[in-house]
Structure 1
């Protein structure tokens, strides 16, 4: 692609000589400007790759002032054209960090060489600036990650420490029920730490190291019933999970992937994580309780899961970033979480070649829908 160069020169004959020279060398000269303010406007309109700017221009804005504003607004490299070699103008021009100087009258070879050097220099600076910004972004993500993981680990570790201290001082005033309660707290905290560690390790792995998609025949209804038994262990009396199956495998009888009358092929480990995470979130983000509806739909070529709660909902401003790692909605308050769950859910759904979508309204609740193809 040929580079565009804006020529800013108030002597029209010199301006056309420069234009002719540049076009002969293969550059595009879309505009010639004669005034500083006009140069700023044209720079914003056409976004040239480089500007040749006369230091002294007619009007109320000099070339140096115009270059300074263009650099601030658009980050476009500028080469100065000047008939002056005195130190006053050169020192003033240096403050705008130009990419070169060309003294008039100029030679064509000098002009083209200076332009090529300036374009290459600017490209290198752009690449370095992007790399620096990426490094800053990565460092910020890393710091956020360390801070969040440290916080997430600290809570269950504190629970374990407290319970073990109480048990170490165990005496006859503690009945068996109380002892079992402390042991249960420890077991739950250890399980939470184990799940958190697994999530962190998964998200930190290289793509080639992550869990690979491995579909196997699955009795889906029994699978969901077993999953619900696990989930019910951590569900309070204020929550009720309503499980409904719509349709049957008869809907899929023409699909060659149905191995028997009860089995379809899905990756059980991934589906367990997808559904358990969504169901756990539905309960967790419904702090005052309510119904959680868990529906399974059999349709030709795919199975659809719908999980619907009556919880706090997701603010509109957070919905766009919901599946990004470490993102948590602004209304979660002190509800625990690490912002990794939905990112992993999305990753597992994608590995199935499926789709996940949601609808949510703050104060009303959230519905997640997961479509997983069974002809994978």
Structure 2
């Protein structure tokens, strides 16, 4: 209180002196006493007091109200009017200058002191509030996001420059309008209207975010992809009094994401092309070897037949020539079969009722001589009363033949090949499960590629019979056509192919 400086403006010297004495008694500092409006202005500008006590009726051309108005133009200080006049006209003029008090003469000391203390406290709080408002305004106007606020009735109350730029609405035009009119949003793909986040917040939702692909439709019709979040504005009683929305233009971010996605797709394409190129090279190397080898052998045998040889030797060379021709035909047929399986939109299958008790022994019969020649054992475990299977017999025969051929090729002398068939009725639909096991373990790293085209397990062809690496790829395609599943596992010295089949479901179009 002792540092509070007050300027007294009073044209009656006795009254001015009395006021000075009272203020000093209260502990205030009286910086100056002025008797006219102009002198009051000069003293205020010179002293910069904390408060002015202003008499309204002053001698000269300028009264206290006019002097207060001029002081307010230059200084932010509270003014209390001291006057004997309380008429409406004078009161209305005084209100315009926003006084911090209006005391009618004569007044009591306590009234004067209370009015001064209230004026000083109120001015201090208002000054703090203005500082906070300026700080908040500067912050909201300088951030790169758009900010819009509304009152409890969903009417816009504030927009920062970024919000004005994005929406196309000026704050003075937008204030008082519905938030949906100013912040017009829709789904970017369907263009269906999206509910205003202001309305959701005002209904009581704590935090609201826009759905993906939301666009802001500006006043000029331009569409801007955005994301945002909205939150309620609450009073001291935790009651919602409005909502605030922060949003941003995500055009550049979307473009960056799309560019990155294209880059990833291009990188994937490059990888795929490199893989295809590698596959092509492997295929050409394999194909050139597998095609040229039988042809070279056949050429040598033809030359031998042209020489003077015995009938027994001629017959042996003819038999060898037939084997090489079969080998060449098998390669060409595998290529054609795989190409057909991969390109046909609808598989050419002929479903029928298959009696596995008759079909399986017939399929394995040609392999009996082969396993005896290689000192292998082929064991068939076929249960009696096995239910029939509605499937394509030709495809199933080819699958079993390829699996058995594969087992014979990679099973060492003295090894075993076991063919198991069993029926599982515990599931719906019931399943027929066929397994082909052979006593050779394949490294785990190779199993993931076992069904790849032209792939052969390195150094596993014990009998050096060669092959195209197409057999298991053909098996996989045929199993898919039969609506089945083919699995492979290898451990503890055994490799097992598991074929799971159900009755074919035929769609008639």
Change (3 A) 1:221 1:167: farther
Change (3 A) 1:170 1:375: same
Change (3 A) 1:126 1:367: closer
Selected match of 1:197 from 332, 350, 354: 332
Selected match of 2:380 from 239, 243, 250: 243
> Is 1:216 the equivalent of 2:386?
no
Residues in 1 aligned to 2:297 and 2:417: alpha-carbon distance in whole angstroms = 28
Q: Which residue of 2 aligns with 1:314?
A: 442
Change (3 A) 1:297 1:130: closer
Please, what is the CA RMSD of the aligned residues? 3.3
| Structure showing greater Rg | 2
Change (3 A) 1:184 1:221: farther
- Is contact 1:302–1:373 with CA below 8 Å preserved after alignment? yes
Residues in 2 aligned to 1:369 and 1:112: alpha-carbon distance in whole angstroms = 52
Q: Which residue of 1 aligns with 2:363?
A: 227
Change (3 A) 1:317 1:127: closer
Alignment of 1:170-319 (within 5 A): 170-172=308-310, 175-176=311-312, 178-205=313-340, 206-208=342-344, 211-235=347-371, 236-249=373-386, 252=387, 258=388, 264-300=389-425, 301-311=430-440, 313-319=441-447
Residues in 2 aligned to 1:179 and 1:338: alpha-carbon distance in whole angstroms = 30
Residues in 1 aligned to 2:414 and 2:478: alpha-carbon distance in whole angstroms = 28
- Is contact 1:290–1:309 with CA below 8 Å preserved after alignment? yes
Q: Which residue of 1 aligns with 2:277?
A: 139
Change (3 A) 1:184 1:218: farther
- Is contact 1:156–1:189 with CA below 8 Å preserved after alignment? yes
Q: Higher relative contact order by CA 8 Å / sep ≥ 6: 1 or 2? A: 1
Change (3 A) 1:330 1:237: closer
Alignment of 1:31-50 (within 5 A): none
Q: Which residue of 1 aligns with 2:484?
A: 354
- Is contact 1:302–1:375 with CA below 8 Å preserved after alignment? no
- Is contact 1:213–1:267 with CA below 8 Å preserved after alignment? yes
Structure 2 residue ranges without an equivalent (≥5): 1-138, 148-161, 167-184, 186-248
Residues in 1 aligned to 2:349 and 2:383: alpha-carbon distance in whole angstroms = 26
Q: TM-score, normalised by structure 2?
A: 0.45
Residues in 2 aligned to 1:352 and 1:227: alpha-carbon distance in whole angstroms = 18
* Aligned length in residues: 262
Alpha-carbon shift at residue 116 of structure 1 (Å): 6.7
Q: TM-score, normalised by structure 1?
A: 0.60
Alignment of 1:45-194 (within 5 A): 121-172=259-310, 175-176=311-312, 178-194=313-329
- What secondary structure is seen at the aligned counterpart in 1 of 2:390? strand
